[in-house]
């Protein structure tokens, strides 16, 4: 089983809709969780981090964490064309000083 899995294919959403991205992780002891956005040809940039179960909101972004289900998600409300990018889920596992990344989910916002 991969450390971090993002299985969905490219996601197309109309402008103004909600984009929902999911991520699962294998290590139950994982402690911190991050979402990065990566535009084509650019490096990843941090959008949000979450450490505790529940929801965390920052502007149009909401991260949701469920440690019992080993599941973290990202919601993008009122999607804009500028949100079109690949979104990478990253997890820091207990006792480990690196971040493990998923393969990413591509989001395309259609005007």
Partner 1 sequence: GAGVSQSPSNKVTEKGKDVELRCDPISGHTALYWYRQSLGQGLEFLIYFQGNSAPDKSGLPSDRFSAERTGGSVSTLTIQRTQQEDSAVYLCASSLAPAGGGNTIYFGEGSWLTVV
Q: Interface with partner 1 by CB under 8 A: which residues?
A: 31-32, 34, 42-46, 49, 51, 88, 90, 92, 95-104
Residue 71 or 101: the one with the smaller Cβ distance to partner 1 is 101
Q: How far is the CB of 71 from partner 1 (least distance, A)?
A: 18
3-state DSSP of the chain: CCCEECCCCCEEEECCCCEEEEEEECCCCCCEEEEEEECCCCCCEEEEEECCCEEEEECCEEEEEECCCCEEEEEECCCCHHHCEEEEEEEECCCCCCEEECCCEEEEEEC
Q: How far is the CB of 105 from partner 1 (least distance, A)?
A: 11
Residue 64 or 104: the one with the smaller Cβ distance to partner 1 is 104
Residue 15 or 94: the one with the smaller Cβ distance to partner 1 is 94
Q: How far is the CB of 4 from partner 1 (least distance, A)?
A: 8
Q: Cβ distance 31 to 46 under 8 Å?
A: no
Residue 17 or 106: the one with the smaller Cβ distance to partner 1 is 106
Q: How far is the CB of 49 from partner 1 (least distance, A)?
A: 6
């Amino acid at each position: 089983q991969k450390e971090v899995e993002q299985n969905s294919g490219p996601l197309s959403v109309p402008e103004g809709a909600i984009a929902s991205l999911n991520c699962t992780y294998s290590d139950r002891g994982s402690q911190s969780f991050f979402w990065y956005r990566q535009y084509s040809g650019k490096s990843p940039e941090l959008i949000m981090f979450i450490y505790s179960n529940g929801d965390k909101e920052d502007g149009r972004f909401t991260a949701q964490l469920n440690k019992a289900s080993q599941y973290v998600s990202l919601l993008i409300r009122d999607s804009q064309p500028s949100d079109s990018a690949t979104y990478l889920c990253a997890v820091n596992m207990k006792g480990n000083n690196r971040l493990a990344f998923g393969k990413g989910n591509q989001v395309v916002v259609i005007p």
